[in-house]
Amino acid sequence: MIKARGLARRFAARGRSVHAVDGIDIDVEEGELVGFLGPNGAGKTTTLRMLTTLLRPTQGEATVAGHDLLLDPAGVRRRIGYVAQGGATAPECPVADELELQGRLYGLSKNEARERGKTLVEQLDLGGLDRRPAGTLSGGQRRRLDIALGLIHRPGLVFFDEPTTGLDPQSRANLWEHIRRLRTEQDLTMFLTTHYLEEADSLCDRILVIDGGRIVAEGSPDALKAQVSGDGVVIGVEPQETTPTAEIVGVLDGASEVTVTGDLVRFRVPRGDLAMPELLRALDKAGIAMRSMQVHRPTLDDVFLSLTGRSLRDAEAKRATPGKEVAHVA
C-alpha cells in the first residue's frame, strides 16, 4: 500500500537548511496497521504530509495506494483518507453538511454522499448529531467526525496524524476501539503517527520508530521490546549509599546498564523477579537499607531509550528547541 524510498524534506530555517525528514524508507502491506512513533519534532507529521500529497518531498520517491506520489498526486488523493491532527471541521458547519460536501468532492452524488454520511455517523456513534454544528461536539465526538470525513469515500488506506492527542484517557480508549473495529469491518490499511507509547503498543501491528528525521528501528511492539535485554529495576536507597549499592548491583548475575540518579539506582537484568532475593541478601549483608523497589517489563520507552540514548518522555520535554516541524505546521 505504501512504498517509499529515500523520502526527504528540507526546510530553510533562518538561512540554513534543516532536514525535517532525512531520507526514509517505508513499506506498508495491505491490511496492516502501522504506527509511526517518535517525539514531537521528529519528522512524523512532515512524513505524513508528504505521503498525503500536502507537501512535496525534496528528495525520494513513493508509491501510495497504487499511484506515484510525484507523478499522480490526484490519483493518490482519490484513494486515501487523511485524518489530520488538529481537526478538520468548521465550527459553525453542521455535521451532515460537512460529510455531504466531503463525499461530493470525492465524486459521490448528493444521495450517495448523504447515505454514506448517515452510515458513518451511525458506525462512529454520532447518531442524532447530524444537524449540530461541529463546534458544539465534544472533543471525542469531533475526532470521530474527523474520522468519518476521512472515510467518506471508502478509501483503502487511511492516514491518522496523532489521532488521540488532546483527548482524555477514556475518549482515547474509546477511539482505539473504533479504529480497531473500522479496520476489520472496512478492510482498511492504516498508518498512524503517535507519540503515545501506549497507543503504539496497543493498536499497531508494526511500529516504525523515528527520531531526528530518520527511522531508527522497526518491528512489532513485542519484537522491539524483546530487543531490550531484560527487565528494568529501580531501587531507592539513602543518597550516601548509592555508590556501594551500584557496586553490589554491578556484580549481580546478568545485570547491565547500571546508572545512578539522585538516590535511585537503575539497572537491567534478564529476570528481575529472580534477581531480587539475591540482591536483597547482598544489600542486607552490606548493611544497606533499601527504601523502595520497582521491577518493570520492558516498555517501548525502554526501546526508545536504548536506541537513542534518551527517553521518549525526556525527548518530549526538551522539545522547546526551535523546530523543523513547528515551522511549517503553523
Measured CA to CA in angstroms, residue 23 lies from 18, 120, 253, 328 at distances of 13, 37, 41, 19
Stretch that binds other proteins, among 101-109, 171-179, 249-257, 293-301 (CB under 8 A): 101-109
Among 87, 166, 212, 244, binds other proteins (CB under 8 A): 87
Cell numbers that stand for 172 in this block: 482515547
Question: In the complex, what is the shortest distance from the CB of residue 153 to other proteins, in angstroms, rounded to a whole number?
Answer: 8
- Residue 212: how many CB atoms within 10 A of its CB? 17
At 133, which amino acid appears?
P
Considering the complex, state which of residue 57 and residue 232 has its C-beta at the smaller distance from other proteins: 57
- Is 106 near other proteins (CB under 8 A)? yes
Q: Pairing state of beta strands 80-83 and 157-161?
A: parallel
Question: In the complex, what is the shortest distance from the CB of residue 139 to other proteins, in angstroms, rounded to a whole number?
Answer: 14
Considering the complex, state which of residue 93 and residue 246 has its C-beta at the smaller distance from other proteins: 93
- Is 176 near other proteins (CB under 8 A)? no
Can you tell me the distance from the alpha carbon of 107 to that of 120, in angstroms, rounded to the nearest whole number? Answer: 17
- Is 52 near other proteins (CB under 8 A)? yes
Stretch that binds other proteins, among 98-106, 243-251, 275-283, 309-317 (CB under 8 A): 98-106
Q: Could you give the 3-state DSSP secondary structure of residue 189?
A: strand
Stretch that binds other proteins, among 86-94, 212-220, 252-260, 265-273 (CB under 8 A): 86-94
Can you tell me the distance from the alpha carbon of 268 to that of 253, in angstroms, rounded to the nearest whole number? Answer: 11
210, 206, 224: which is closest to 27 by C-alpha? 206
At 71, which amino acid appears?
L
Site for other proteins in 254-273 (CB under 8 A): none
Can you tell me the distance from the alpha carbon of 138 to that of 127, in angstroms, rounded to the nearest whole number? Answer: 14
Site for other proteins in 134-173 (CB under 8 A): 149
- Is 131 near other proteins (CB under 8 A)? no
| Residues of this chain that bind other proteins (CB under 8 A) | 52-56, 74, 77-78, 80, 82, 84-93, 97, 101-102, 104-107, 149, 328, 330
